[in-house]
Structure 1
Amino acid sequence: MSNVIEINNLVKRYKELVALDHFNLTVDEGEILGLLGPNGSGKTTTINCILALLTYDKGSIKVFGKEMKATSYDIKKDIGVVMQDVAVFDDLTVYENVDYFCGLYIKDKKIRKQYVEEALNFVELTDFYKFKPKKLSGGLLRRLNIACGIAHKPKLIFFDEPTVAVDPQSRNKILDGIKELNRKGATIIYTSHYMEEIEQLCSRIVIMDKGKSIAMGTKDELKAMIHKTEKITIEVADLASDFSSEFAKLPNFSSYSYNDNVLNLTFKGGRNNLAHVMNILSKHPGNLGRISSETPTLNDVFLEITGTELRDNV
């Protein structure tokens, strides 16, 4: 397995603002890498630097083993980009849009025609090839955007929030399409604020904040980093006794709260936590209601690592 992208000690400044602070990243061939971070963390700047759309102050970027420059057209022909903002021509039909973007890289008309038809079929837009973009629904427009970005069969594809403001059916279709592109050999970098998408798609995840990589690993490795690894919720009316001191003695205990007849406990690892809790509560004469045990989500990881304060876009 080789590195498709190698970033070493990347620094990017906007006057006094340090957008990337000695940022390092490698992306392996054939993986789907999730790139997460709060607003202003440096995700977009990173992508723009990789694509040579921005200059940077220090460091190096290699793509496919070669230094990436603004004039690296031999590298760029193997890269596809699907950005959050739909970028198509309103005056062109669906077919003409895909043909135009594919034509930036594929000059042979016969091959281009084949690639365009395959891209339209891939995103299931063959029935709409004569439509203008303004006639398409939001989901269809997103799929057109994807077709324009992947028609030339790139080896490396960037997806930046590709499912924003689409219905669940269109979202599932887009996610299934991304998995299929990866199965066919494409390396993918995926950014999204939908944590469930990242969990579903990505083989590895990088969390950025303040221009740095602050956590990296599989979803299970990231979940093992945080303080809360199990949350137990129990509905119990009128808990007469204060069991907090007894709960605190349990192995791997982390926190306890009891509000509005709902008992919440969190634990850091361990087994049989629920059994230990129920053994303590057996001393309570009242009836218990719903009981649930949840492992942490990627959203829990993200909030614990990056904090819960609101961020402004930068």
Structure 2
Amino acid sequence: MTTRTAPAPAIEVHGLQKSYQKLHVLKGVDFEVARGSIFALLGSNGAGKTTVVKILSTLLRQDDGTARVGGFDVRTQAEKVRESISLTGQFAAVDEILTGRENLVLVARLRHLENPGAVADDLLRRFSLTEAGGRKVGTYSGGMRRRLDIAMSLVGSPQIIFLDEPTTGLDPQARIEVWQTVRELAASGTTVLLTTQYLDEAEQLAHRIAILHGGRIIVNDTLEELKRMLPPATVEYVEKQPTLEEVFLALVGDTESHDDAEPAHTSEER
């Protein structure tokens, strides 16, 4: 009889420390991220979320502690880590002069992939940007730019993607589009580490949530377990009202179709 061993975590962090002169940002951070899951790292401004992401993506060296990403040590195997990951920062890193397709082709060529045009076309389809692929990115809405930015991060099919506050500055419709994109990434087997200040974002997306405060992880659990930390609410009969999200979607319709839709022709135009 054989026993199956659980797969190693996609990300392993133990005792991570980082200081900027006398400012101690990380004071011993510990957490693990399961493969194919969405892990949300919550914290207020200055809590150290971006510092954690920079260390895990090899852009910054820790002062102490260890971190392994995709099975590779971030300090001693940085090149292997970079081959396994992709990073999307707080602001979309797209070239507004180029078209959406040209942005994707450029990244595919930089990664030395075969047939970059086919790679670009596949990602445009995957992110519902085919119709907009021939337009300059400067004409895109905020949600479309963010979707393109994430698509560019997936060129080369990285195992792990870091999303550092991906919906900062986006309007409600664009946020919902990005949320759907993140769900689809995890469903396809990609591991997602998401940093955010928005509690509703973590509640909507994450399989597991960690809160970074005072330089340490003060809690790390599923949403259901975190809710059990507080006393149960008093049960009362309340007429269920539609949520703001339900009202918003009912009014604006399908979020994926409106970005690319052309204005309807009037009878006079015909």
What TM bracket, shorter-length normalisation?
A: 0.7 to 0.9
Flag structure 2 segments of 5+ consecutive residues without an equivalent. Answer: 1-6, 241-270
**What SS is found at the alignment partner of 1:90?**
coil
Any conservation in 2 of the 1:52–1:70 contact (CA below 8 Å)? no
Residue 80 (structure 1) aligned to one of 82, 86, 89? 86
Residues 70 and 81 of structure 1: CA distance in aligned 2, closer, same or farther (over 3 Å): farther
Q: CA deviation at 1:13?
A: 0.5
Amino acid at match of 2:232: T
Trace 1:130-279 onto structure 2 (pairs within 5 A): 130-226=134-230, 228-230=231-233, 274=236
Q: 1:35-94: CA deviations, max 9, x gaps?
A: 101111111100001011111211111112221138632321221212111111233221
- Would you say 1:100 and 2:106 are equivalent positions? yes
Any conservation in 2 of the 1:8–1:60 contact (CA below 8 Å)? yes
**Matched residues in 2 for 1:119 and 1:173: separation?**
15
Amino acid at match of 1:126: T
- Please tell me the root mean square deviation across aligned C-alpha atoms, in Å: 2.1
- Would you say 1:60 and 2:63 are equivalent positions? no
**Matched residues in 1 for 2:66 and 2:160: separation?**
18
**Matched residues in 2 for 1:35 and 1:66: separation?**
21
Trace 1:33-52 onto structure 2 (pairs within 5 A): 33-52=39-58
TM-score by length of 1: 0.69
- Would you say 1:109 and 2:127 are equivalent positions? no
Amino acid at match of 1:52: T
Aligned structure 1 segments of 4 or more residues deviating by more than 4 angstroms? 290-293
Trace 1:282-297 onto structure 2 (pairs within 5 A): none
Amino acid at match of 1:35: L
**Matched residues in 2 for 1:47 and 1:172: separation?**
23
Answer with 200-209 or 152-161: which moved more. 152-161
1:15 maps to which residue?
A: 21
Any conservation in 1 of the 2:87–2:153 contact (CA below 8 Å)? yes
1:261 maps to which residue?
A: none
Q: Which has the larger strand fraction?
A: 1
**Matched residues in 2 for 1:291 and 1:139: separation?**
35
**Matched residues in 2 for 1:207 and 1:229: separation?**
21
TM-score by length of 2: 0.80
Choose 1 or 2 for highest CA Rg: 1
Any conservation in 1 of the 2:73–2:81 contact (CA below 8 Å)? no
Q: CA deviation at 1:17?
A: 0.6
Flag structure 1 segments of 5+ consecutive residues without an equivalent. Answer: 233-272, 275-289, 294-314
Q: CA deviation at 1:131?
A: 2.0
Work out the number of aligned pairs and report it. Answer: 234
Q: 1:241-280: CA deviations, max 9, x gaps?
A: xxxxxxxxxxxxxxxxxxxxxxxxxxxxxxxx55xxxxxx
**Matched residues in 2 for 1:72 and 1:100: separation?**
24
Residues 31 and 197 of structure 1: CA distance in aligned 2, closer, same or farther (over 3 Å): same
Amino acid at match of 1:37: G
**What SS is found at the alignment partner of 1:170?**
helix
